[in-house]
A and B are shown apart, each in its own frame.
Chain A
Amino acid sequence: MKPTVLKTVDLTVSFGGLKALNGLDFELFEGQFLGLIGPNGSGKTTFFNALTGIYRPASGNVFLHGKEITGASPNKVYDYGITRTFQRLRLATSLSVLDNLIIGNQRNLNFGLWRNIFDRKYFKAELKKQTERAENLLSRFSRDLAALLFKPVASLSMIDRRRVEVCRALISDPKILLLDEPSAGMTPDETRALIDELQDWRAQHPSLGIILIEHEMELINKVSDTCVVLNYGEKIAEGRYADVSNKPSVRAAYLGED
């Protein structure tokens, strides 16, 4: 049995009277690829936002490696090694790909006034290090991506933007990667390409835990070790996709069957 990395106990997030997440118990093992599914408005993205400190949970606890991190700020969560992508891309589109990746690698940047502004020799060396790291990551993640390093993100195609956003989340060597519907706005072929690349990455980094929010069931079936199904902020099923997808409650939530 692999050790638990992330665990939530009775996690609740409410907006006014609405409980967007209601008493969620959740567990992620080291290196697990977990699919998070559920109809629109079932609380999937809310769960990510509660984990990453964008929303503050009303009650319940979050543990990372057994240490409580409930209500930690986004900055802290990043320091703990949890990074994410967003459903609607949140890249800095007017900046270059390199700039975006360096933003993702905050942890390893030096912010001394002297080292940034006055000791330009030092800064040049640091920039070189960061550029090499970014280039290396891009070329390992996807063929041809490294050629876009100095292009503005605004000039990239949708799939390349998605790739850059995933790379921005990977560059700091996180322990847990949260992917919020990476297929949104992409063709099935593009989605397949991205998922293949993710699986390759995972094969090379076996300890990285991934939680994937996705509407494409085929994708979930293909890549996830296990699934969690949410509906109205509650967990209604959990297990291998093949088992979960046949559950009457899950079918009812998705298709509205009685």
Chain B
Amino acid sequence: MRDIKTKLVILLGVVLSIVVLYGFLYLEHEWEIGLLLVALPVAILVLKRTNMLSDYQQAARAMPKLTLSSFIVGVLVLIILLRDEHFALLMLTTVMLYVTVSLGLTIQFGFAGLVNFAAIAFFGIGAYSMAVLNHHFNALPDLLIILFSGLASAFLGALLILPILRTRGHYAALITIAFGILLRTFLEVNDVFGGPQGLKVDGLEILGWNFSNSFPSLLGGGSFYMAYAITALLLAAVAYLFTRLIEASWFGLNMDSVRLDEVASASFGINAPRWKITAFMLGNFFAGLAGAIYAAMSGFIAPASFNFADSLLLVSIVLLGGIGNAVAVIPAALLIVVLPEKFQVIQEYRLLLFGIVVILILRFRPSGLMPRGLRQYFPGSST
């Protein structure tokens, strides 16, 4: 009986979120979005007051697998609903790719405490790997190329391991900033990578299905973005699951310990460099995978697509959501990616506004909109 109630609560939560998400992506007029943005916090407040929010949170904690799979199905339905809306699908796909990168940052920053201000550089390495590999090794299956792009990002990132292990806090952050700038300059002056003009990227082709054509009419037809949206959804879901499993294992425990107190960790046999390297490479791997799909989707990449400002955006997604909370990056990425597209005003003053948001968050809610809770290894294991 309680089981059925839990399941119903989860389904209700998922349906509600998908409806809101649909409105958020589909509506175009500024006043409509504005109304939604006013209604949303009020609705959340009401749900909170009536304890429905905490009921949902408890239910999701009790049945994480059901929650995740319902959300995947929900977003699939959403993709089908939006099948003719190129722009909405593009935004949704971008959000899911950014969620993947933010999950990588969650592992790096939220778990192991490594500040990475070069997320977009690792995203870019993935994108360029995709462009180059897909062009020169056309015979390789594209799924393998995506995987290689992720690995390329992780292993090029390994160049930074030594300096990052030898520095702390701001200094480590500076190293990542420098890396981002170096990479961009490197791409701009190298003709092999197209220089400042960038590179053309072939679309994905998986099992003979070319993603750049419109969606097969056999499956209902629709924008070519549908195939990329589904791919990005799968990637984000796998990244989410993996991040969650890391958190709920000794890996996440040791990363947390290294972040919170390196001296105490060392005194209990924790090898801090090992966990920092693991977190750093894993996070960059996620960024590389997302970058590869992004490159294939946009069909063209240039150094200018991978700005330092975008790295800041990704860090602010993690800060806004809640440092170390894997779920929280999803609504945060939605807000930060979609809002500027909907409001021209925000688009112009994007960085200024995000700067203000980050300052407000750090001042008034330093653990983010959805603060991270205690570790739950398994549903019900902590009672």
Chain A residues lying within 8 Å of B217, measured Cβ to Cβ, are none
- Judge whether A90 and B263 touch: CB under 8 Å: yes
Cβ B250 vs Cβ A95 within 8 A: no
Q: Per-residue 0/1 for A81-123: is the Cβ within 8 Å of any B Cβ (1 yes, 0 no)? A: 0011010001111111011001110110111000011001001
Complex CA gap A103/B262 in Å reads: 12
With contacts A92-B256, A92-B261 taken as known, whether A75 is within 8 angstroms of B266 at the C-beta atoms is yes
B263 contacts A75, C-beta separation under 8 Å = no
A45 touches B (CB below 8 Å): no
- Inter-chain contact B270/A117, CB cutoff 8 Å: no
The size of the chain A interface, using a CB distance under 8 A, is 40
Chain A, 46-86, CB within 8 A of any chain B CB: 52-54, 73-75, 77-79, 83-84, 86
Q: Is the CB of B257 within 8 A of A103?
A: yes
Output the least CB separation between A131 and chain B (Å): 8
Is B256 a contact partner of A95 (Cβ separation < 8 A)? Answer: yes
* Known contacts A90-B261, A123-B249; is-contact A83 B382 (Cβ 8 Å): no
B249 touches A117 (CB 8 A): yes
Task: Pick the interface stretch among B148-156, B202-210, B340-348, B372-380.
Answer: B372-380
Within 8 Å by CB of A117, from B251, B261, B266, lies B251
Q: Given the complex, which residues of A lie within 8 Å of B183, measured CB to CB?
A: none
A124 at the interface (CB under 8 A from B): yes
A75 neighbours in B (Cβ, 8 Å)? 266, 269-271
The answer, among B242, B251, B265, B378, for a CB contact under 8 Å with A103, is B265
Q: Is the CB of B245 within 8 A of A117?
A: yes
Neighbouring A residues of B245 by C-beta, 8 Å: 116-117, 120
Docked-complex contact A116 and B266, CB < 8 angstroms: no
Q: Are B381 and A103 in contact (CB under 8 A)?
A: no
Chain B residues in 8 Å Cβ range of A104: 268
**Assembled-state Cα–Cα distance A29/B257 (Å):** 33
Specify the chain B residue showing the minimal Cβ separation from A168: B268
Say yes or no: is B212 at the interface (Cβ < 8 Å to chain A).
no
Residues of B within 8 A of A92 (CB): 256-257, 260-261, 264
Q: Which residues of A contact B250 (CB under 8 A)?
A: 102, 109-111, 116
- A99→B256 contact, CB < 8 A: yes
Instruction: Decide if A99 touches B375 in the complex (CB within 8 Å).
Output: yes
In the complex, A198 Cα to B326 Cα: how many Å? 41
From B260, B267, B374, A52 is in contact (CB under 8 Å) with: B267
Chain B interface residues toward A at CB < 8 A: 242, 245-246, 249-251, 253-254, 256-257, 260-261, 263-271, 374-375, 377-378, 381-383
20 contacts between A and B (CB under 8 A): A77-B267, A78-B267, A79-B269, A84-B267, A90-B264, A91-B264, A92-B260, A92-B264, A95-B256, A96-B375, A96-B382, A99-B375, A102-B253, A103-B270, A104-B268, A106-B254, A106-B270, A123-B249, A124-B378, A127-B378
